[in-house]
């Protein structure tokens, strides 16, 4: 292996970090697409089509799934892991399409980045037309979002508690069935 090949390999291995946009820019792009989806209105599946790329590109669904199922992650095997990552991706898309369904002069206001011990937080808020403000903090790990905190309530921490309770009481297949039902209800 010559020096040129080595350099190319090194560059490719660093690619996600080198080429990824800054977290604040990623959030601006996400917000822009959410505004577009709200202005479009239409059906839920149309809005899923609008937000899909930006959500899939910017969210780390594997990390979200790992925290959500905790130590069960190992026990559910590769198929189970693949299944829950896919369902969480679908759930996230359905939720965004459901929550951001109509435009009423909402504005997303960026408040900048805060560097934490093991990642970055991008702080922002939605400003509704009646002056109501809802804070939105996006937690990044390795360049992708893995947690959204709305007015102090962490989406991932809630998911971990909620899913953990179902896993303990009903098991993994029941958890998958619950999530599938959730997605159907949102569509």
Partner 1 sequence: MKNCDSFKRLILLPLVLVFTGLMGGCATLEGDPWAVYDPLEPTNRKFHTAIDAVDRRVIAPVARGYKTIMPDWAERGVTNFFRNVRRIDSVANSLLQGKAKNAGEDFAGLLVNTTLGLGGLLEVGGRMGLKHHDEDFGQTLAVWGVTRTRYIYLPSGPATIRDAPGTAFKSWIPSVILSGGYTFWVGAMDLLSVRADALPLSDARDQTALDAYVFTRDAWYQRRKFVAFDGDPPVDDLFEEFEEDFEAVLDAETEASDSSGDSSGNSPQ
Q: Which residues bind partner 1 (CB under 8 A)?
A: 63, 66-67, 70-71, 73-75, 95, 98, 114, 116-119, 121, 130-131, 135, 137, 139, 141, 146-147, 149, 151-154, 156-158, 160-166, 169, 175, 178-179, 182, 185-186
Q: Which is closer to partner 1, CB of 31 or CB of 159?
A: 159
Give the single-character DSSP code of 81: H
Whole-number Å distance between alpha carbons of 154 and 137: 9
Q: Give the DSSP H or E segment for 110.
A: strand 107-115
> Residue 50 to residues 35, 44, 98: CA-CA distances in angstroms?
10, 10, 12
Nearest distance in Å: CB 43, partner 1: 18
Q: Which is closer to partner 1, CB of 40 or CB of 141?
A: 141
Question: How many residues does the structure list for the chain?
Answer: 187
Nearest distance in Å: CB 16, partner 1: 18
Q: Which is closer to partner 1, CB of 5 or CB of 105?
A: 105
Q: Which is closer to partner 1, CB of 74 or CB of 102?
A: 74
Residue 137, SS3 per DSSP: strand
CA angle 115, 118, 124 (to 5 degrees): 40
């Amino acid at each position: 292996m010559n020096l040129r090949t080595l350099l190319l390999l090194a560059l490719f291995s660093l690619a996600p970090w080198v080429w990824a946009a800054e977290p604040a820019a990623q959030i601006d792009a996400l917000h822009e697409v959410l505004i577009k989806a709200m202005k479009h209105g239409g059906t839920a599946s149309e809005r899923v089509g609008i937000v899909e790329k930006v959500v899939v590109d910017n969210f780390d669904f594997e990390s979200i799934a790992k925290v959500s199922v905790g130590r069960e992650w190992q026990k559910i095997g590769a198929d189970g892991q693949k299944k829950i990552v896919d369902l969480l991706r679908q759930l996230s898309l359905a939720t965004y399409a459901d929550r951001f369904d109509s435009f009423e002069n909402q504005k997303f206001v960026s408040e900048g980045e805060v560097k934490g011990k093991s990642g970055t937080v991008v702080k922002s808020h939605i400003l509704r037309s009646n002056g109501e403000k809802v804070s939105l903090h996006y937690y990044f790990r390795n360049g992708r979002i893995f947690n959204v905190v709305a007015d102090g309530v962490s989406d991932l921490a809630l998911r971990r508690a909620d899913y953990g309770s179902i896993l303990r009481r009903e098991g993994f297949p029941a958890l998958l069935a619950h999530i599938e039902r959730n997605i159907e209800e949102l569509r």
